[in-house]
Amino acid sequence: MRLEKKKVLITGGGSGIGQACTKLFLDEGAQVIVTDVNNQNLKNTKKLLKNYDFETVEGDVSLSSDAKYLVNFTTDKLGKIDILVNSAGVTQRNAPSEFDFEQTWDWVININLKGTYLMSWFTVEEMKKNRGGSILNMASIIGLVGYNKKISNGLNPYPHSKGGVIQMTRDMAVGLAEYNIRVNALCPGFTKTKLTQDLLKDEKILSDLESLHPMGRLANPDEIANAALFLSSDEASFITGVCLPVDGGYTAQ
């Protein structure tokens, strides 16, 4: 097993890519703590993976107190953290309907960028004690290139947040290499998750999105999880600071 006895903390594990990572990492022998801000999502993951042994804990990664609690909860339960997967994320489409443009900006940046930072901050303290670890951040192809103009007006906070995650990944990788802490990011293409389900209900939008990917389709969460497994595992022991597109050729155009 590729993650045998590894202690793993996965944020945003109540759905989508985080949930797919949870299943795959458990299959590969890891001990996993799954977090999500939505307790119902955690219950759904527990139900879906009812034959697996793992614990869940509710928390908001954008709050320093919650982020610290989630890390402490994991170390108390598992003894240490070998791998952190920062998968919690939102888009402007999911923002509360009463939010104006500035509130939406703050909400997206706080969860996607600040949340990744806070979880990494408290986890790094623990990883330094253990002389190593692997942090995997969930960025996006839209952190590498701009949105297609049919999708965004250029003032969407999502790509701005994911661009920040990419730069954070590179800077952390350089700064933490001396402690044997690897930091990498995945940049998924459009993937069939809760974050995109509203878009995909429209057949025209779905067709347009599929046509933007040279492979002519969107990703499944399992395909992103497979890449997450590699970058998180010891097989990637000499890889750090990489922001890997898993995008069906989207960014190769």
Total count of domains within the chain: 1
Asked, for residue 2, whether it belongs to a domain, the answer is no
Which structural domain, as residue segments, surrounds residue 163?
7-252
Catalytic residue positions?
158
The pLDDT assigned to 246 comes to 98
pLDDT(204) > 90: no
pLDDT of residue 188: 98
Half-sphere exposure of 223 (CA within 13 A, CB side): 16
Residue 61 included in any domain: yes
When pLDDT is cut at 50, 70 and 90, the band that residue 152 belongs to is: confident
Identify which has the larger pLDDT, 195 or 189.
189
pTM of the model: 0.96
State the pLDDT at residue 203.
Answer: 86
Q: How far apart are CA 231 and CA 83, in angstroms?
A: 10
Domain assignment present for residue 95? The answer is: yes
Residue 147 has pLDDT above 90, yes or no: no
Domain-located, residue 26: yes
Q: Report which DSSP code applies to 132.
A: -
Is there a contact between 88 and 80 (Cβ–Cβ < 8 Å)? no
9-13, 63-67, 86-90, 149-153: which range is least confident on average? 149-153
Inter-CA distances, 4 with 7, 20, 175, Å: 9, 18, 28
Residue 21 to residue 42: CA distance in whole angstroms: 14
- Kindly report the CATH number assigned to the domain that includes residue 205: 3.40.50.720
Residue 1 within a domain: no
The residues, ordered by sequence, that sit 6+ positions from 241 with a Cβ below 8 Å of its Cβ are 169, 170, 173, 174, 183, 184
Look at residue 150 and tell me whether its pLDDT is greater than 80: no
